[in-house]
Amino acid sequence: MLIDHQYLQLLTVRSHSVETVVNNAAFLAEGARIFNVPTLFTTAFAERQAMFAELQAVHPDQKPIDRFGLNAWDDERVREWVKNTDKKKLVMAGLWTEVCLTMPVLSALAAGFEVYIVTDASGASSVEAHERAVQRMVQAGARPLSTVSYVSEVQRDWSRADRPSRW
């Protein structure tokens, strides 16, 4: 799940460079696409802020679930999408780490999902805000990883062509 990777929110990110967040989010989406991992994009109040074009280019036909609430997990369409994947492991990244990522991660954990957070494809209003949010999610049971480690785990080996991922 790539949650609220939108330009307006990106303007306030201070925990990472803009390039880092955009490139890692796009790399995450592309790796998931290549290895057939179901991927969901969400936006918040999209009429005022567009999603990263780099993400939309990976799945040009996907229409992000647009919401007004702060917690993506509160949206029935998001929960229904997750249910329809029939997966118990969720991988999430989002802007802002301290809100758009933390809230649905805590909710998914409470709902019994195993949740992985991609910390370098997420960004926060400050380094401290990012670190505290990651720490809070980890304390609740989320498992942090980087974009490269996630895509490498999905790939598994250099000969992988069409073997299903454990994700």
Amino acid 162: pLDDT = 55
Amino acid 157: pLDDT = 77
Amino acid 74: pLDDT = 98
Amino acid 117: pLDDT = 98
pTM (two decimals): 0.92
Residue 92 lies in a domain: yes
pLDDT band at residue 160 under the 50/70/90 scheme: low
CA distance 25 to 121: 5
Residue 72 lies in a domain: yes
Number of compact structural domains in the chain: 1
Average pLDDT over residues 15-32: 96
Both tokens assigned to 48: 């005022």
pLDDT tens-digit readout, 28-57:
999 999 999 999 999 998 888 889 999 999
Residue 118 lies in a domain: yes
Residue 161 lies in a domain: no
Which one-letter amino acid corresponds to residue 71? N
CA distance 78 to 117: 17
Amino acid 47: pLDDT = 87
Domain span including residue 18: 2-155
Residue 137 lies in a domain: yes
Give the number of other Cβ atoms within 10 Å of residue 141's Cβ: 14
CA 82 to chain centre: 13
Amino acid 167: pLDDT = 47
Both tokens assigned to 166: 């454990």
Residue 79 lies in a domain: yes
Burial class for 166, CB neighbours closer than 10 Å (0-12, 13-18, 19+): exposed
Residue 11 lies in a domain: yes
Q: Please, are residues 127 and 101 in contact by the beta-carbon 8 Å criterion?
A: no
CA distance 17 to 54: 16
Residue 161 has pLDDT above 80, yes or no: no
Residue 24 has pLDDT above 60, yes or no: yes
The CATH number of whichever domain residue 54 belongs to comes to 3.40.50.850
Report the DSSP pairing between strands 41-44 and 65-67.
parallel
List the 2-3 sheet strands across, edge first: 65-67, 41-44, 2-3, 89-94, 114-118, 143-145
Which residues participate in catalysis according to the annotation?
A: 100
Residue 113 has pLDDT above 50, yes or no: yes
Amino acid 156: pLDDT = 79
pLDDT tens-digit readout, 120-132:
999 999 999 999 9
pLDDT tens-digit readout, 79-95:
999 999 999 999 999 99
CA distance 90 to 97: 16
Residue 7 lies in a domain: yes
Q: Please, are residues 43 and 6 in contact by the beta-carbon 8 Å criterion?
A: yes
